[in-house]
Structure 1
Amino acid sequence: MIFPIFFTFSLLLSSSLASVKDFCIANYKSPEGPAGYSCKKPAKVTVDDFVYSGLGIPGNTTNIFKSAVTPAFAAQFPGVNGLGISFARLDLAVGGVMPLHTHPRGSEILLVAQGTIIAGFISSANNTVYRKTLKKGDIMAIPQGLLHFQVNGDKTPALAFVSFSSPSPGLQILDLALFQNDLPTELIAQTTVLDAAQIKKLKGVLGGTN
């Protein structure tokens, strides 16, 4: 009997603590920590803290990947701090690609708003690829931390909106992690079995050294 009573009391206490504050608007005067930003003083909170207008503007796709991500994470949108949610816009020009990448702190749902997008992710258990060609109105769920990608699958620009289960889901692009740094070419060759000449070429294109 003791454990059920203790468990019920713990749930009630957690619910009570969670409802102490309705929200925690990000205070950008302090650094972001593992639990997010500290809270802005309630007297300084305005309705504009809960509104973000940056996703109505197309991203700049004049880059090597012909793609652009416009985030509305806690760092840009103070109202989502502490809520366990965030949003982003993905623009893919013709031939555009969002290369293999991960969001270490959040799962996502991709909604295609315009064009056609080939999207998929790779399971960590057995490296199974789950891939689908998505059209306007289609959505796809992508589990937290898994490598995934999006490719423009048509001859017109594509647009998608992405929701996340974290106010700061993080982003690490595999190509940039490997080739946009000073990790020695020899070490990359040993750990990836890629040809050293190709590695140096990729480092040159993406801004890496060594």
Structure 2
Amino acid sequence: MAGAIAVSFGLTASLALAPPAPPSAAAELRAYVDAHAQGLRVSPTAAAEHLEATGVATRDSYTATPGIASLAASGTNYDWAKLVLVFAGWPITDANVTVLTRWMRQENSPKNWWNRNNPLNNGWGASYGPGGTGSNVSLVAAAENAADALLTHRGYAGIRAAFADGSSTAAIESAIWASPWATGHYANGGHWHYTPVDVVQAPASAWG
């Protein structure tokens, strides 16, 4: 009887110490939306005065940044590039998206740019299997990890500044080559390609 109690206690303790399961892609999405909720506030006085004077309620135009769900639903390599920019807080400019898609092509063929859910071959936050290659649970997690690496590593300060400006592909690419991201530094641009990158959609399963 005492032995049975001891075994039962051991099983209970083992179960109690089991690590929690990692969050799902859907849970990560909900957490991001909750943390970055947006709203539009209009002065009640201004709105009332305008309506009284014109009889028409109008609003100024405004723009919106694409969100995680819409980018994941579209699911292309260009959408993933924009997702990195969203997570990093950088502007979604033509220059920024162009460089990111070119950079992705340097690391993976556009035909399977989602390989191992790691389009930039970023080791930051990735898990490693027997082959030593980093992988992510989803492309959403991969974008968040890539943004986190670029924002955190002191060697990427030049990349951060160039993406934050978002106006010059040459400035961003030069910063990437000079950084420690790739040990070969892309031959200081000698191995870089400038032709347009094909738009390729990843399987829905890669997005989580």
* TM-score past 0.5 threshold: no
Bigger Rg, which one:
2
Question: Which has a greater percent of strand?
Answer: 1
Higher relative contact order by CA 8 Å / sep ≥ 6: 1 or 2? 2
* TM superposition score normalised by structure 2: 0.23
Question: Which has a greater percent of helix?
Answer: 2
* TM superposition score normalised by structure 1: 0.23
